[in-house]
Chains A and B, each alone.
Chain A
Amino acid sequence: MAQERSPASRLFANRAFLWACLVAMNLAVLVLVVLLVSIFWQGWDTLSWKFITNFASRKPSEAGIAAPLWGSVWVCAICGLVALPLGVGTAIYLEEFAKRTRFTRIVQTNIMNLAGVPSIVYGILGLTAFARMFGAFGTNVDEAIEFGNSESLWYIRLPFGSSVLAGGLTLMLVILPVVIISTQEALRAVPSSLRAGSFALGATRWQTVWGLTLPAAIPGIMTGAILAMSRAIGESAPLLVLGGLLLVFNTPENLMSDFAILPLQIFNWAGRPQDAFHAIAASAIIVQLVVLLAFNGVAVLIRQKLQKPLQ
């Protein structure tokens, strides 16, 4: 407040800013409402049970999302099964075990950087590391080394190619920093007096973590994990790099199956010029949003049910 200003002008600034606030806030809410209404308006009519159970088709009226829906489920399941142990383990190490050394500082900065890497770059990494395995098994698909019968559930092929497993692992790379950071925050929120009490009773560090810190941090970790998973469901750019837009006519049978995912199916339909495809793209978006809403609902429930004040 460098120069003297009249009370009237200061009160005017005060009032004008409040109006600006209300405009900005209402704009944000309005955008959300317009977005949701426009999508439901475009996609509601073509949404039916048949749409959810049918496979891909050239005719928009026959097309459905069975393959991408199950593809998304498989990919996200693999992604979660790998990313959660790895991410939570990293966070436990950094918060509960590691001393504040140069190494841990580098790891910490590195995780912040990984969180900022565009997802499409992870797609390139997944393509090179998982789908092609750095060319260690040749560049031709026929040269792949196979384990087990290609019909069975446990069929594995090296390199993975653009399979469900490669897709899940690629998405794992995308959400890993998110899982680590949210778990670290949850662990930091556990009061240190609890740990001190446990150490005073003679517990080792791991006993303290397993018996005390982790159970206390579980609501926070679960919330973060679910938000990370909902990011994984909506992520499409890395998998587009991995496999392009595959037209898939069956649900995945094993880890080496080809797959489609819901967001890429939406991308495919949205990119076509015909309005009929835009309509079914909107229907697929509705399904996607319902799945996401269910995920977020579970996160909110966990937050409310499990969160007990610890102080």
Chain B
Amino acid sequence: MSSLPANTDRGAIRDPNSLGRPKSRAARVLRERIIVGALAVAATFSIFVTTTIVVVLAKETIGFFEFPEVSISEFFFSAEWNPLLGAEKHFGIWPLIAGTLLVTLIAASFAIPVGLISAIYLSEYASPRVRATLKPALEILAGIPTVVYGFFALTVLTPVLQKLNPFLERLGDGWTFGNYNAMSAGLATGIMILPIVCSLSEDALRAVPRSLRDGAFALGGTKFDVSVKVVLPAALSGIVAAFLLAISRAVGETMIVALAAGGIAQITANPTAEVQTMTAYMVQIFLGDAPAFGVEYKSSYAVAAMLFLMTFGLTMVGQSVLRRFREEYD
């Protein structure tokens, strides 16, 4: 160090071994400032994106409510959504929300149990060799485009479900599967979110320290006791956050429901019925069923705003679950 010239802080660094041109301190500081500035601009871009989404959706939604045939009270409190057909148009959002919830419920009741149990198996039971073959299978499932799941629902799941129709007929009218139904779309959505549930839950389970397991085994717990009564509760915040993320994916899923769920906006709990979700309605509008800039066209922005609020709420709840209920073991 003593061989360094005394004026390094002001003058140029003249180390013959250093690569590149020698730079003055001022030049280095300037370059540093420019780079940090550019990076900060990049980071601000994401804020700009969110702001623009909110402003665009708010502006267009307000524009929608300014049409004389639309009223805010009908939008939130009426159960009829019929913007395209008939003399009188009705804009009550609930049938679309009900359709979305039905598909999401079917998807979640398939993906959450199967995904969570698979995650426990991968994290606690499976040998490294089994893991090495099962993880890629899940990764492939995660990478398949959603339109492929829609095709699968339409051409495989629905025909299989229709095989049940002879038995379902005895239940009464309206309980048989048609070409479009909530069940096939829900199941396909469930398959789509399964890898999300599974891999995020597994991450949470594997983050639980080994000492907890060792302690529980030392107390005489079986593998089941240790996995389900010790490790699972310890990882609960991460697992709940994984569920919420998967559910918000299901709520926002578009191509599967547009292909397989049908186009009738109705409030029903019947999984064999045709339903229209919020996203499927938007697809119908943007595919050109409505004249641009008319009231039906604008209604899709109001639906998008509701969708944005729902997924935003789910994400925020998920984030706060992670922050509030995280168990720290260090």
What are the interface flags for A1-35 relative to B under an 8 Å C-beta threshold, 1 for contact and 0 otherwise? 10000000011011001101110110111011011
Task: Check A106–B53 contact: CB distance below 8 A.
Answer: no
Number of residue pairs A-B, CB distance < 8 angstroms:
251
Nearest chain B residue, comparing its CB with the CB of A173: B49
* Alpha-carbon separation in the docked complex, A98 to B253 (Å): 35
Set of chain B residues within 8 Å of A20, measured between Cβ atoms: 117
Say yes or no for B85: interface residue by CB 8 A criterion. no
What are the interface flags for A207-249 relative to B under an 8 Å C-beta threshold, 1 for contact and 0 otherwise? 0000000000000000000010011011111001100110000
Say yes or no for B132: interface residue by CB 8 A criterion. no
Among B63-71, B74-82, B87-95, B150-158, the stretch that binds chain A is: B150-158
Task: Check A118–B43 contact: CB distance below 8 A.
Answer: no
Q: Given that A93-B40, A204-B32 are contacting pairs, would A267 and B117 also be in contact in the complex, using a CB cutoff of 8 Å?
A: no
* Alpha-carbon separation in the docked complex, A118 to B305 (Å): 11
Set of chain B residues within 8 Å of A50, measured between Cβ atoms: none
* Alpha-carbon separation in the docked complex, A117 to B315 (Å): 9
Task: Check B50–A114 contact: CB distance below 8 A.
Answer: yes
Residue tally, chain B, CB below 8 Å to A: 87
Say yes or no for B38: interface residue by CB 8 A criterion. yes
Task: Check A32–B32 contact: CB distance below 8 A.
Answer: no
Among A52-60, A145-153, A282-290, the stretch that binds chain B is: A282-290
Say yes or no for A274: interface residue by CB 8 A criterion. no
Set of chain B residues within 8 Å of A1, measured between Cβ atoms: 221, 225, 229
Task: Check B148–A11 contact: CB distance below 8 A.
Answer: no
* Alpha-carbon separation in the docked complex, A1 to B229 (Å): 8
Say yes or no for A144: interface residue by CB 8 A criterion. no
Task: Check B39–A90 contact: CB distance below 8 A.
Answer: yes
Q: Which of A22, A236, A296 contacts B143 (CB 8 A)?
A: A296
* Alpha-carbon separation in the docked complex, A205 to B28 (Å): 11
* Alpha-carbon separation in the docked complex, A159 to B80 (Å): 37
Set of chain B residues within 8 Å of A92, measured between Cβ atoms: 39
* A115 nearest CB across to chain B (Å): 8
Q: Which of A253-311 contact B (CB under 8 A)?
A: 263-264, 266-267, 270-271, 278, 281-282, 285, 288-289, 292-293, 296
With A112-B319, A129-B56 given, name 4 new contacts (CB 8 A): A1-B225, A34-B156, A97-B36, A292-B144
The 5 A-B residue pairs with the shortest CB-CB distance, nearest first, are A118-B252, A234-B145, A89-B42, A93-B39, A21-B121
